[in-house]
Amino acid sequence: MKWDEYAKWGKHIAGWGADYHSSLADRPVRAQTAIGEIAAQIPMTPPESGEEMATILKDFDEVIMPGMTHWQHPRFFAYFPANATPPSMLAEQLVNTVAAQCMLWQTSPAATELEGVMVNWLRQALGLAVGFTGVIQDSASSATLSAVLTMRERATGFTGNKDGLSQKGHLRIYCSTEVHTSIDRACWVAGIGQANLVKIATKGPLFGMDADALDAAIRADIAAGHIPAGIIAITGGTGIGACDDLRAVLRVAQAHDLYTHLDAAWAGSAMICPEFRDTFWAGVDSFDSIVFNPHKWLGAQFDCSVQFLRDATPQLNTLKIEPEYLKTSGEEVVNYSEWTIPLGRRFRALKIWFLLRSYGLDDLRRRIRNHVAWAEALCARIRAMEGFEICSDPILSLFTFRAPGDDAAQQRLVDAINDDGRIYVTQGSHAGRKVIRFQVGQFDTTEDDVMMAETVIAEVWEQIK
Ligand SMILES: *Cc1c(COP(=O)(O)O)cnc(C)c1O
């Protein structure tokens, strides 16, 4: 392709994008396709000769787009949001165009230096203490794996990487029963094993881990000859938004000299609002590692996950490897690929820069506050619906509910709502029962969009009950 053609199609796609976004509210949120329907429309073999971009884009519209679920739809209430604001999209277009691989300072000094400044901007935005540094990763899963590997190495005197784990005894990691599966998988692949991930029961209105039970579990493990390695806490679990009492967890961690990681992948963004910090964030400054995803609630296009580190040294001692071909001449520079598992790195800081400068923190705070208020208002309306039950009250903007009937009835309602297409919700489980999850967090959602959910849920329930 010639560059003048690239410019032509680039403009075309920018226009297409604006049209797409202004038509989103009229589309069904979740793709309405059957399994295999899209693949069946695509040739089984690659073309031998090139095709026109016009033809390719026509197929994109006709074959691919009907099979897309619209994450930027204002009535996306499923999972957690993956907000992509227009300024962050523009930044991504620039990143894609310059197409630099930013593994070392010298492979793009601007990318490394902007990353350092953006981590520091976000540190301040979230109310974290001076002294935290950090790194931008692709996902919270990667950041959590980095933290678990650091726990493993720290607990083995930094010999696990060198000698392997066969002589190391049972390394133990502790978390609550409300954590995301990325914690389980981090323990699998770090060689800790599911059996050595100790899940502590929760209590209280925020479903935080029981600190006395945590302490007892650690003591029992030490008595049994096991090696406690670290604790993973959560602010905003995926199922119902569970939040640990950070100070209580830290007291136990400090008593046993354990490394601590905090998973705030979703709820971390809400901590730009100071009024939430007392309830959800008190004590946070003593965590060794904290992850949050600006690509969820904040509006930085996927993917963008920030890991803050109180002291980067243990993680660097765990992950840094420097073959000759990666050595950079003498100076004291930051090479972020030494902080993470992948070597290659995208330039993710640019979209944070564009996002924060375009909106400013005040605008972002206003949106999150609205989401929380609207979730509470909708929750009150669903509570008042005949036979409906709230299973977990809103934690920030997430709550769960049930319609009358058994677990199968809940799934039927979820499926029927999503077939209807006006809103999108997903199921979860809480206290051993299937529940319907509802979170408010899409960047452009309005109060009317959120309240429409009551109408849709009531209408669909009438049809299927
Ligand atoms: C979304 C989420 C994750 C996983 O995030 P990825 O960036 O997709 O790996 C982990 N923990 C919590 C609490 C989450 O909400």
Residue 137 Cβ inside 6 Å of ligand 1? The answer reads: no
- Which residue has its alpha carbon closest to ligand 1 atom 8? 139
Task: Give per-residue pLDDT as tens, 99-119.
Answer: 999 999 999 999 999 999 999
CA of 28 to the centre of ligand 1 (A): 25
Token code pair at residue 307:
């890991």
Residue 228 Cβ inside 6 Å of ligand 1? The answer reads: no
CA of 29 to the centre of ligand 1 (A): 21
Residue 221 Cβ inside 6 Å of ligand 1? The answer reads: no
**Span 258-279, mean pLDDT?**
98
CA of 448 to the centre of ligand 1 (A): 28
Say if CB 434 and CB 407 are below 8 A apart: yes
Residue 261 Cβ inside 6 Å of ligand 1? The answer reads: no
Token code pair at residue 203:
């209590």
Query: Given pLDDT bands bounded at 50, 70 and 90, which one contains residue 369?
Result: very high
Task: Give per-residue pLDDT as tens, 138-192.
Answer: 999 999 999 999 999 999 999 999 999 988 899 999 999 999 999 999 999 999 9
Residue in 433, 448, 432 with CA at minimum distance from that of residue 403: 433
State which ligand 1 atom lies nearest to the alpha carbon of 139: 7
Token code pair at residue 411:
């799934």
Task: Give per-residue pLDDT as tens, 42-82.
Answer: 999 999 999 999 999 999 999 999 999 999 999 999 999 99
Task: Give per-residue pLDDT as tens, 410-446.
Answer: 999 999 999 999 999 999 999 999 999 999 999 999 9
State which ligand 1 atom lies nearest to the alpha carbon of 295: 7
Token code pair at residue 313:
């040294």
Say if CB 453 and CB 423 are below 8 A apart: yes
The whole-angstrom separation of Cα 418 and Cα 408 is: 16
DSSP 190-242: TT--GGGEEEEPEETTTTEE-HHHHHHHHHHHHHTT-EEEEEEEEBS-TTT--
- Which residue has its alpha carbon closest to ligand 1 atom 4? 140
Query: Given pLDDT bands bounded at 50, 70 and 90, which one contains residue 124?
Result: very high
Residue 176 Cβ inside 6 Å of ligand 1? The answer reads: no
